[in-house]
Amino acid sequence: MLIHNTSMASSSYSSQLRKNYDVFLSFRGEDTRKTFADYLYSTLEDRLISTYKDDVALPRGESIRPSLFKAIEGSRIAVIIFSEKYADSSWCLDELAHIMKCREERNLIVMPVFYCVDPSEVRKQKGKFEEAFAKHKIENNNKVESWRDALVRATEIAGWEPKNIANGYKKCYTTLQRPLWRAEMEKIPTKLALRNRNVFNGDPSCPLCSSADESAEHIFTSCYVSSVVWNDISSWCRIPFIYAFSIIDLLGIHKSIPVSAKKKEAVYGIVIVACWSLWRARNNLVFSNSPVRIDRILSEIKVLSFLWFSNRSKFKGVSWEEWISFVNM
């Protein structure tokens, strides 16, 4: 069950904690709470992935630590968003230690994400983490060693670590490119492609807009849904309207934009992710009868393209604020 507001009664809240969450989000600070963590939460929620986020699920008056620990124990996956402010809070470090304990005792899956912080700073407690631990030695000296141990063990888990993946950004986009090249050759299972192979005899119209027969070219270039998505992406990225006659045109659209190499690479990646998200939305509608919402598609595009670009491109160091406003690109 998804939790939609902060005013639920305590009895309802307690009953929900007895159920498993799919994902527990662990993060700290307004730099992530109202930006990256919020977008990630919204994207997971839109995909019907039950997610615990403390400012949504924790009513006022509840004791923080016990409630957080119960939520962790009732989750399948913990996503830890490390930022410069993560180690500032003692209860946040307590939360991390409990996550690592549940990983050992309850097979909790842990996925670290390094938001504008180097993994080595987290592992070795350098920079902002060193400053935070200097204060903790005075106020919480009896817990410092257990917190350090939890940080080290968390950073040993394979996650979004740019140093562990050579040219990972390009490899990720290459993986997403493959279905696009197949789409250009009409090799993905659209209704027209299936009919041409004599395996489909139903209505060939596009399930997204119903205005034309469904081909790969139509879905990605001329469908009403894709047209709105390209228009919104153009406005977001502050570039001329993305208009293409073919998938090949889409893949080369970044080359004709008179912008920096950094922005060209960003736009190129966004186009690839957008095509993947459009195809995903189409499949969710066809196979799960899940309504298509353009705002959900755009949220997914922004989150996924940010993760890949900020962590794995040669232009590292882009913050979520810069990405969402598309400045300094």
The residues that are catalytic are 95
Report whether 50 contacts 41 (CB < 8 A).
no
Report whether 25 contacts 53 (CB < 8 A).
yes
Q: Nearest to residue 152, comparing CAs of 125, 170, 117, 187?
A: 125
When computed from its CA atoms, the radius of gyration of the chain, rounded to whole angstroms, is 22
Assign 3-state DSSP to the chain and report helix, strand, coil percentages, each to 5: 60, 10, 30
d(CA 253, CA 240): 10
| Residue reference for tokens 């159920």 | 19
Helix/strand/coil for 9: coil
Q: State the DSSP string of 243-299.
A: --SSHHHHHTGGGGS-S-HHHHHHHHHHHHHHHHHHHHHHHHHHHH-PPP-HHHHHH
